[in-house]
Amino acid sequence: MKNSMTDEIIALKNKHKAIILAHNYQVPEVQDLGDFCGDSLELAIKAAETSAEVIVFCGVDFMAETAKLLSPDKKVLLPVRGATCPMSEMITPPELLDFKKDYPGAAVVSYANTTADVKAESDICCTSANAVRIVNSLSEEEIIFTPDRNLARHVALQTSKKIIPWNGFCPIHEAITASDLKEAKKRYPGALVMVHPECRPEVQDLGDFVVSTGQMFGVVEKSDSKGFIVGTESGIIYSLSKRFPTKEFFPIKESVVCPNMKKVRPENVLDSLRTLSPEINIPEEVSRKASRALRRMLEVG
Ligand code: 13P
Ligand code: SF4
């Protein structure tokens, strides 16, 4: 990246009292621009706590919406319009309301990977880092879990509650198969396997750790192992390698790339800071209800 671009980004950031938050799946040049890089829970916490006046969110739309819901008085910018998460489009409020009718006593736990409208119809949100904790914190015994069926199954294995999953999934993680992972294990014998809970059940079952992107850092930190097979979007390999330069990280396969997460480039960050757009705005009634579900999540932690 040209230094003049970085210099201008830094100058505009200072001028507007802005902070750049970047998800672990962003391209390396954007991760390097971030004041903070992390998983969706860590980024939500940063967005809620920051004293910055502008948040430039390098990720996909539901993450920027989460930042806006938690910091409604701040300007939240998503540098590329249309960076969306297909999983978050697999459930709509009318579908959820209809589904709820069959389970009148159930609580609704919605993954952060949902639209603000769906969060507004949910009792509480979760991310892949705290989903088990969130479910176990509830008094209800029946839990409608939306939209990720694979994360729902990961939770179901670790709770006594009845989990009623929505049938959504992440197309990127779903494309990792058990045979891909078996091949990778043969290629990198002795490496520890970390997989994301958005992976298929049979892939999760072959992993040594089923963890969020942020939790992968904790696993590596505590482990003596030198090599790690990583079952999630490829961007995390850069963040892990940067933080642990003496360790080796191997993707299960090279093609695990989320095109939406790769849309943001440094040029877009610069444009966004120059024009203070595209801005995230959420209708007041939706915002009131959705932020309640998110704040309830943050109270549990
Ligand atoms: P993390 O919560 O592990 O960051 O994963 C969220 C996600 O699905 C981003 O696509
Ligand atoms: Fe959505 Fe999957 Fe991309 Fe995450 S990796 S943003 S869940 S499509």
Dihedral (CA of 195, 196, 197, 200) sign: negative
Task: Dig out the tokens for 2 from the structure.
Answer: 């040209």
How many Å is the maximal CA-CA distance in the chain? 58
Domain span including residue 39: 3-84+261-281
* Helix intervals (H) in the chain: 3-16, 28-33, 40-49, 61-70, 93-100, 116-120, 131-137, 149-156, 171-174, 178-187, 201-206, 213-222, 235-243, 266-275, 284-300
Residues 91 and 53: beta-carbon distance below 8 Å: no
The domain tally of the chain equals 3
Pocket of ligand 1 (CB under 6 A): 24, 39-40, 113, 127-129, 196, 198, 212-213
| Domain membership flag for residue 286 | no
Which CATH number do you get for residue 160?
A: 3.40.50.10800
What pLDDT, on a 0 to 100 scale, did the predictor assign at position 41? 84
Residue 100 belongs to a domain: yes
Q: Please tell me the distance between residue 16's alpha carbon and the centre of ligand 1 in angstroms.
A: 28
Identify whether residues 32 and 72 lie together within a single domain.
Answer: yes
Domain end, chosen from 139, 169, 199, is at 169
Residue 260 CB less than 6 A away from ligand 2: yes
Going by C-beta distance under 8 Å and a sequence separation of 6 or more, which residues neighbour residue 241?
247, 249
Domain match, 153 and 96 both: yes
163 and 185, same domain (yes or no): no
Does residue 287 belong to any structural domain of this protein? no
Residues 74 and 116 in one domain: no
- 118 and 190 co-located in one domain: no
Does residue 274 fall inside a structural domain?
Answer: yes
Do both 148 and 184 map to the same domain? no
Residue 228: inside a domain: yes
Q: Please tell me the predicted confidence (pLDDT) of residue 1.
A: 56
- Residue 238: the pLDDT is 96
Q: For residues 120 and 164, state if they share a domain.
A: yes
Handedness of CA 6, 261, 294, 115 (dihedral sign): positive
Residues 188 and 155 in one domain: no
Q: Is the CB of 199 under 6 A from ligand 2?
A: no
Among 105, 137, 169, identify where a domain stops. 169
Question: For residue 295, is it within any domain?
Answer: no
Atom of ligand 1 nearest to the CA of 211: 3
In this structure, the number of other CB atoms found within 10 A of the CB of residue 224 comes to: 5
Q: Residues 215, 221, 222, 225: what is their CA dihedral angle, to the nearest 10 degrees?
A: 110
Q: Please indicate, yes or no, if residue 294 is contained in any of the structural domains.
A: no
Query: Is 76 found in the same domain as 7?
Result: yes
**pLDDT 10s digit of each residue in the chain, 301 long?**
557 999 999 999 999 999 999 999 999 999 999 999 999 889 989 998 999 999 999 999 999 999 999 999 999 999 999 999 999 999 999 999 999 999 999 999 999 999 999 999 999 999 999 999 999 999 999 999 999 999 999 999 999 999 999 999 999 999 999 999 999 999 999 999 999 999 999 999 999 999 999 999 999 999 999 999 999 999 999 999 999 999 999 999 999 999 999 999 999 999 999 999 999 999 999 999 999 999 999 999 9
Residue 292 lies in a domain: no
What does the DSSP assignment read for 234-247? THHHHHHHHH-TTS
Nearest CA to ligand 2 atom 6: 85
Q: Is the preceding peptide bond at 72 cis, omega within 30 degrees of 0?
A: no
DSSP string computed for 161-174: SEEEE-SB--HHHH
Predicted TM-score (pTM) of the model is 0.95
- Contact by Cβ (8 Å): 214, 25: no
Q: Which of 84, 149, 166, 170 to mutate to test the pocket of ligand 2 (most atoms within 8 A of CB)?
A: 170
Domain boundary among 169, 199, 222: 169
N- to C-terminal Cα distance for the chain? 37
